[in-house]
Amino acid sequence: MERQLISHLAHRDHPIAAPVSGAQVTRLLRRARLPEGARILDLGCGEAAWTLRALALYEDATADGVDISADALKAAEGHAEVQGVWERVRLHERPAADFPVAERYDLVICVGATHAFGGLGPAVERVRRYLRPNGLALVGEGFWECAPTPEALARLGAGPSEYFDLPGTVAAAESAGFDTVYAYTSDLSEWDDYEWSWTGTLLRWANENPGPDAEAVRAAALEHRAMWLHGYRGVLGFVTLLLQRTG
C-alpha cells in the first residue's frame, strides 16, 4: 500500500494532521483576526482541517488548499460540501513546493508540512513570498524538547540537526522576515492523542480488512508506535507559530 494512502487512513480519526487539539486550532485561527474577505492558503493541507475551520470562523473568507494526496483532497472536498463551504475553497493536487506565487494571501498555513520544502528555513522563506505586507502565517514544526538520545535519533532516522530547540526554531522562522506575534506549544496529552489515534486507527483498519494491504498497514502502525514510544515521546515537541511578515 502506498505511503500516502497509509497516512490518509492513519488520520481518519484525527484529521488535524498534527499534535494539536481542535480547541487550540480554533484559538490560533481566532488569534489571527483576519480582515473581511480574507484569502487563505494552506500548503500541505491534507484533509483541509485547518482551512475548513478557518472558513467556518471567517464567513466571507476564501481559500486554496494544496496537497499531493488525492485521497486526502477527496475527503477534504466531502467535508467542505457537508460544511457548506465548497464554493469558498479550491483544492489543488500538486506538491506544495510547486504551487505558483500567483497572488498574495492574508494567511498562509503550513502545519506539519515544512518537509515539503526541505525544512523549516526554506519553508518560511517560501511562505513569505505568498503573503501580503503584514500578512500572517501559521507554521507548525517539531523541535527538541530536550537533547535527543542516540536511541531516539536512531528510531527517527535523524541527526541532532534535524530540528532546533524552541529558541532556535523561533529564530529560524524570524530570520526569513517575520515577527512571532503568538505561538502555541503542544502538550504531551495532545501528542499522545495524536499518536494513539494514528497507530490505533491503522491497527483497527488492518483487523477489519484482512489481506495483503492489512499486513502492510499493521507493519506501518507497529513500526511507528515503536518509534514513538521508545524514541521521541517526551523528546520531540511541536510548536505552532503565528508569524507576521515584516519589512
3-state secondary structure of 62: strand
With vertex at residue 34, the alpha carbon angle to CA 97 and CA 118, rounded to the nearest 5 degrees, is 20
Dist. CA 81–CA 92, nearest whole Å = 16
The DSSP 8-state label assigned to residue 34 in this structure reads: P
Q: What is the pLDDT of residue 8?
A: 87
Q: What is the pLDDT of residue 2?
A: 79
Instruction: Give the count of alpha carbons within 13 A of 185, CB side only.
Output: 12
Dist. CA 214–CA 230, nearest whole Å = 24
Encode the chain (247 residues) as per-residue pLDDT tens digits: 678 889 889 999 998 999 999 999 999 999 999 999 999 999 999 999 999 999 999 999 999 999 999 999 999 999 999 999 999 999 999 999 999 999 999 999 999 999 999 999 999 999 999 999 999 999 999 999 999 989 889 888 889 999 999 999 999 999 999 999 999 999 999 999 999 999 999 999 999 999 989 999 999 999 999 999 999 999 999 999 999 999 8
pTM (predicted TM-score) = 0.95
Q: What is the pLDDT of residue 1?
A: 62
Q: Looking at the DSSP assignment, which residues form a beta bridge with residue 40? A: 63, 107
Question: Cell numbers of 106, please?
Answer: 492574508
